[in-house]
Structure 1
C-alpha cells in the first residue's frame, strides 16, 4: 500500500466520482479504477458503493479514509522536516489550540521567531482537548495548548502565565443578566449547557467539579458541546445557560448575550503540552525554548 494510492483513494472519496477524481489528478480513469480495485483486493474489502450518479464510502471505506488522511499528513510532515534538516532554522511548527487567551502568548512567540527566522512557519489546528490530544498522540502536532481541566499524565507540560475566568452566558434580557455574579446554588436550579471536557470523570483534578462540590452530581445538564460557538445559539433559543470561559463566546455590545462570572471566582489555567517521546525539528525546538523563556 503506497501513499500515492491512498492519495488517489482520498481524492475519489472527496469527489464522489472516479471521473472527477481522475480529471483532478490528471490521470486516466481506467488507471485510477485499477488502483482502487487493487487496493480493495489488498485489503479484502469493498471501499465504495457505486450508483448511476456517484459513489459513496462503505463503513470500511470511511475507516480507511480517516486513516489515510492521517498517514498522508504524516508523510508530508516528515518530508518537510527532512528538507530543512541540514539548513539554518526553518520549517514548520504544528500546534493544536483550544479557544483561549493563551493564544496571546503563542502569537507573541510566533512573531519573535519570525522576526529573526522568516522561514519558520506556524500551523494552527483549532479544536477541543480531545481532538488535540488525538493528533498529538499520532504525531500530527508538535504541541497542544490545553485549558484546564485536562489530563496531563501522558505529556510534558508548561504552565502558561495566562488563564480564563469561568462564568455563564445568558441573554441580556434574562434575570441572570442583572446579577454581578452567579453562585453554585443559582446554577443548581437551572438547565445548563456544558463542555464535554468538564464532565470527564477520569481527570484527577477537575476544579470545575470541585467548585460545585456535592451539587455537581445533581446538575441539570441539558446539552453538551465541544466548541462554544454553537452553544451560544442554544442560549438564544432559551435552552439554558452555557457554563463556559469568558473569552470564547461573543458578548460584546452588539451581542444579545452577556457573560456573568462565577462567585467564588474560578479560573482555568492554560498548559502548553507535548509528547514525552516526541522528536522536535529545529523550528519546533526553538519554539519550545522561547515558550519556556516566556513562562519564567
Structure 2
C-alpha cells in the first residue's frame, strides 16, 4: 500500500467529496476515482458510501482512516528528521504526557535545549498513560511521561525529580470541603469521577483497600479540565492529582489530599533499543544533565 494512496484516501475522507479532494491534491478527478477504486479492490471491502452530495466512510473506511493517519504521520516524522542540514543539531522531538507537575521539569529541559539548539522543534501530545504507550509502540512518540510503575521489559526510563500528590477535587460547598484531608471512608458513598488510566485504577484500589470500580463511580475522565467542569455542576468528586486546576481566588472548587498520603513517582520512558534522531538524543542528554543539577 503506497503512502501516496493513503494521502489520497485521507484527503477524500476530509473533503467528503472526490471533486474537492482532487482539487486539493491537484490531480484529476478520474485519476483519483480510479486510485480509490483500486484501493477498495486491493483491500476487498468498500471504504466509502457514495451519496449525492457527499461521501462518507464505511466502518472499514473509518478503521483505515485512523491507521492511515498514523502511518502518514510516522512517515512525515521520519522524513523531517532526515531532511535537515547536517552542520548543526536540528530535527523534531515528540513527547507525550498526561496532566502532571512533571511537565514543568520537561519544559525547563526543552528551554535549555532550544536555547542551545534553536533549530530543534518539539511536539507535545496530551493523553493518559494508556494513550501514551500506544503511541510509543507505534513510533509516533519518542518519549512518554507516565506514572510509575514502568514495564521494564518494554521500556527504558529515567525517574524524574517530581512527585504527584493524589487527592479529591470538590466544590467548596460540598459535605467534605471542611476536612483538611480525605480518608477512604469519606468517599465510600459519594459519587466519584475517576481517571480511565489502568495504572491509576491499581494505585487507587490499593489505597481504598478494595477495587475502585466497586465504588459509586458516576463517570470517568481522560483530562482533568473537563472533569473539573463536571465538579462545578455538582456531578461528583474527582479523584485526581494536585496543582492542575486553579482552586484559588474566585474559584468555587477546592482540593483535599488523601489521608494516608498517596503520591506517584513519574518516569520519562522510551522503547527499548530505540534509535533516536539527533534532536531526541540531545533532549535525553539535557534531561540527564538537568536531573544531575537538581540532585546536586
- Superposition TM-score, scaled by structure 2 size: 0.92
> What is the match of residue 290 of structure 1?
286
Aligned pair count reads 292
The separation in 2 between residues aligned to 1:276 and 1:75, in whole angstroms, is 21
Distance in 2, matches of 1:198 and 1:259, equals 23
> Is 1:122 the equivalent of 2:122?
yes
For 1:285 and 1:148, the matched residues in 2 are separated by: 23
Q: Aligned match of 2:267 in 251, 266, 271?
A: 271
- Listed as ranges, the matches of 1:103-118 within 5 Å are 103-118=103-118
Contact 2:147 2:199 in 1 (8 A): no
Residues 1:228 and 2:208 aligned together: no
Q: Does 1:212 align with 2:218?
A: no
**Distance verdict in 2 for CA 1:240–1:152, change over 3 Å:** farther
Matches within 5 A, 1:34-73: 34-73=34-73
Return 5+ residue gaps in structure 2 as ranges: none
Q: TM-score, normalised by structure 1?
A: 0.92
Query: Do the aligned partners of 1:188 and 1:218 also contact (CA within 8 Å) in 2?
Result: no
Is 1:139 the counterpart of 2:139? The answer is yes
Correspondence 1:4 to 2:4: yes
Q: Indicate yes or no: 2:18 matched with 1:23.
A: no
Change over 3 Å in CA distance of 1:59–1:198 after alignment to 2? closer
- Superposition RMSD in Å: 1.9
Q: Indicate if the aligned counterparts of 1:95 and 1:125 stay in contact, CA closer than 8 A.
A: yes
Give how far 1:189 is off.
2.4
Where does the alignment leave 5 or more consecutive residues of structure 1 unmatched?
none
1:101, 1:164 within 8 Å by CA — same for their partners in 2? yes
Q: CA deviation at 1:38?
A: 1.3
Deviation at 1:254, TM superposition (A): 3.0
Task: Check whether the contact 2:164–2:241 (CA below 8 A) recurs between aligned residues.
Answer: yes
